[in-house]
Amino acid sequence: MSMICEHLSQPAALRGGTTDGVPMTKIPATIDEVTVEWLAAATGLAVTGLDAEIIGVGIGVSSAVYRLHLSGTDVPKTLVLKLPALDEAAVFTSSMLRMYEREVKFYEELRERSPIDAPQGFGGAVSEDGASYFVLMEDECGHRVVDQIEGMEIADAEQAVDELALWHAEFWGDAERFVETGAAVSLADPIYLAVLPVVFAEGWEKVSSLMDVEPAIANVAPRWAEAMPAMLATLSTSPTTVIHGDYRADNIFFAADGRTVLLDFQLTGLGSPSYDLAYFVTQSLLPDVAVAHERVLFDRYIAALHAAGVSPAETNRLWEDYRLAALFCLVYPIVAARGMDFDDPRQFALIETMSRRCARAIDALDLESLLDA
């Protein structure tokens, strides 16, 4: 941790350090270093004034997110800026998993191919060690937001599933090239095998001591780390695509025409298409809605893949992958809990909600049996 703190206090060497031809000289260590002069150089915009406010508290923990209110000539009223998390443990995990690098590279390599709308990028860079970064992007605050804790209505879920199928079809069988550039990380990457057992154990210690744990999770969590390598090996076996990696309600907005706008590209990877779908359905819907519509949404997704040109022969095993991915996704609330402030009602409620929805999936889909397979 001390090495990370020391690094963040110094100017960072850049990877991907130009924006619209303007060379970047420094990644801001804190929001206090985001000045009018820096922002003008980073974006090429004629910025003459800015005010910053922190946003997104209690929604995610891997980054600190700010809304920048701008003044100047022909400049947007606002931009969104992402910097490393304020919590050192979250920065450690994010840098080890190359999350900041992936988000910078999404805007360089993947955004133009995405069939799902994503914010326009206004610049970004990441340090050589991956612990410092920034991304500047379009502010999508005018769109309709669904609170993950409240759950997504089925009509919205259907739209999100339809567009997810288009995303996966676009990158079907084509993820390896982005693994090679660092824009994606394979679920089979050794870094997951090295990092996840450690951070899962730390998160589980916190969750099990400070929360009332559902019986289904209490039965599965102690065995999860041992089963994790085999789960990831299966979920990174063909058919694969570029997965978003964090496809859930808090990262999905809805435009006025009903189409989705997708955020947060720090976990883009190579993996089974079922990975995103399982995480979305199990975590974005209220438990009773998921029970009623889970298999219907899965079948809808498969039909959308076929309509987009994916061969039925390549989708035969995706229900088995779906169940395995739903089991693996216990990692999200447990690891996220490490960096959450449980004294904050929103943060505690998010982890509690995600855990309860994991328990629902474990029971409804008989996921504990997968640990004995």
Residue 18 clears pLDDT 60, i.e. is over it: no
The two tokens of residue 304 are 């959308």
Residue 341: the pLDDT is 87
CATH of the domain at 313: 3.90.1200
Whether 228 and 263 map to the same domain: the answer is yes
**H helices within 182-246, ranges in order?**
190-210, 215-235
Q: How far apart are CA 237 and CA 188, in angstroms?
A: 9
Q: Which residues pair with 262 in a beta bridge?
A: 252
Contacts of 329 (CB under 8 A, 6+ apart): 278, 279, 282, 283, 358, 361
Q: How far apart are CA 63 and CA 133, in angstroms?
A: 10
Q: How far apart are CA 193 and CA 205, in angstroms?
A: 19
Whether 265 and 231 map to the same domain: the answer is yes
Residue 19: the pLDDT is 39
User: Last residue of some domain: 81, 115, 138?
Assistant: 138
Percentage with pLDDT > 90 across the chain: 86
Which H or E element spans position 114? none
Q: Which of 59-63, 170-174, 189-193, 199-203 is the least confident region?
A: 59-63
Q: How far apart are CA 168 and CA 276, in angstroms?
A: 9
Strand, coil or helix: 254: strand
User: In the predicted model, what is the mean pLDDT of residues 161-187?
Assistant: 98
Whether 306 and 350 map to the same domain: the answer is yes
What are the pLDDT digits (tens) for 324-361?
Answer: 999 999 999 999 898 888 999 989 999 999 999 999 99
Contacts of 334 (CB under 8 A, 6+ apart): 200, 203, 204, 207, 221, 355
3-state helix, strand, coil in the chain (%, to 5): 50, 15, 30
Whether 280 and 345 map to the same domain: the answer is yes
The two tokens of residue 369 are 């049996």
Residue 87 clears pLDDT 90, i.e. is over it: no
Whether 131 and 200 map to the same domain: the answer is no
Whether 74 and 162 map to the same domain: the answer is no
User: In the predicted model, what is the mean pLDDT of residues 85-98?
Assistant: 91
Residue 305 clears pLDDT 80, i.e. is over it: yes
Domain hosting 14: range is: 2-138
Residue 293 clears pLDDT 50, i.e. is over it: yes
Whether 234 and 327 map to the same domain: the answer is yes
User: Last residue of some domain: 118, 138, 158?
Assistant: 138
User: In the predicted model, what is the mean pLDDT of residues 282-297?
Assistant: 97
Whether 131 and 159 map to the same domain: the answer is no
Residue 20: the pLDDT is 42
Domain count, the chain: 2
User: Last residue of some domain: 94, 117, 138?
Assistant: 138
Contacts of 220 (CB under 8 A, 6+ apart): 327, 330, 362, 367, 368, 371
Whether 191 and 296 map to the same domain: the answer is yes
| Mean pLDDT (the chain, rounded) | 91
What are the pLDDT digits (tens) for 110-165?
Answer: 999 999 999 999 999 999 999 999 999 999 988 999 999 999 999 999 999 999 99
Whether 134 and 152 map to the same domain: the answer is no
Whether 149 and 113 map to the same domain: the answer is no
CATH of the domain at 114: 3.30.200
Whether 103 and 249 map to the same domain: the answer is no
What are the pLDDT digits (tens) for 200-249?
Answer: 999 999 999 999 999 999 999 999 999 999 999 999 999 999 999 999 99
